[in-house]
Amino acid sequence: MLPQQIRNFIDVFAKLPAIGPRQATRLAFFLISSGKSKINEMARAIVDLSSIKVCTNCFFIHSNEENLCTICENPNRAQETIMIVEKETDLMSIERTRKFTGRYLIIGELTKGGILDATQRLRMGHLKSVIQKKLDGQAEEIIIATNPTTYGDLNAMVIKNELEGYAKKFTRLGRGIPTGGEIEFADEDTLEQALERRI
């Protein structure tokens, strides 16, 4: 019934987070009705994503010539204070507060079971290596910025156990963020309070 091009589009876009087949179908028809120039504009935007790089230090995205993002390149950032976040969007939300001046590690989205996957273990290993080489084996503070949920608390404990001995102090964001909330969706004032009240 549907042309193969639309079926291909639906198959690809249905795999995206929060899309699914029904939403992908609607998106396909929306683009078709928007005209060729809109389709070409979207296609260019998607192709341009292929030039984005991942920072070799914190794993945030960038488009610099070098291997480091603008945060890791910044010599004014406190190297001895490290915040561990799950997602890029968490980092972006915290950066909007302009209250955190340290560096980051994006560990990747954590499971509900409190088990780190292979990629997350590699990133933790990288962080340990950086701490050993650049900070004489111990960071001043590691802030574990997981979401204030039961699973976030479990994962924070797993991360802390994994990094035991690599920091003088471990803290969590204060409970300015409500239990069950997500960092990504918190407003700047709430995140600012959470940073200031970290425990």
Each residue's pLDDT, cut to its tens digit, for the chain (199 residues) gives: 889 999 999 999 999 988 999 999 999 999 999 999 999 999 999 999 999 999 999 999 999 888 999 999 999 999 999 999 999 999 999 999 999 999 999 999 888 878 889 999 999 999 999 999 999 999 999 999 998 888 888 999 999 999 999 999 999 987 666 667 788 888 787 787 778 777 6
Other C-beta atoms closer than 10 Å to the C-beta of 90 total 24
Query: Do the beta carbons of residue 41 and residue 31 sit within 8 Å?
Result: no
Look up residue 182 and give its two tokens.
């997500």
Strands 170-172, 141-145: pairing kind: parallel
Residue 196: per-residue pLDDT: 74
Cβ partners under 8 Å of residue 107, min gap 6: 84, 85, 86, 116, 120, 123, 124, 159
Q: What is the pLDDT of residues 90-148, one digit of tens each?
A: 999 999 999 999 999 999 988 887 888 999 999 999 999 999 999 999 999 999 999 88
Of 179, 169, 186, 176, which Cα lies nearest the Cα of 87?
186
- What residue ranges define each of the domains in the chain, with the CATH number in brackets? 4-51 (1.10.8.420), 54-196 (3.40.1360.10)
